Amino acid sequence: MALTVSERETGVRFAVRVQPRASRSEVCGVHGDALKVRISAPPVDGAANDALVDLLAQSLGVARRAVRIVAGATGRSKVVDVDGVRAAQVLRLAGQ
């Protein structure tokens, strides 16, 4: 399967599959049609979500405020909006 990235007026929207409590935080490829991300933070009190936003912002070279979790905040499967980037940047990050 390939990562699905939707272009929007201000940026992109894509699915993310999160593995919390990993040994280190990293983008590690594709899981189905979602970007697979390992996060070292536990899924407690939003810590994993905060770590995900930090990692995606740093990896894509945007400000933290440009990254928003728009669906799935309490689960492992999430939908993320990122302003100021194009689909090609996200696909490169995923290794595609």
- Please give the tally of structural domains in the chain: 1
What is the residue whose two structure tokens read 């492992």?
76
pLDDT-derived band of residue 1, with 50, 70 and 90 as boundaries? Answer: low
pTM of this structure: 0.92
Give pLDDT tens digits for 25-60. Answer: 999 999 999 999 999 999 888 899 999 999 999 999
Q: Tell me which residue range forms the domain holding 61.
A: 5-93
User: Domain with 55 in it: what CATH number?
Assistant: 3.30.1200.10
Q: Where are the beta strands (DSSP E) in 1-96?
A: 5-7, 11-19, 26-31, 34-38, 67-71, 77-83
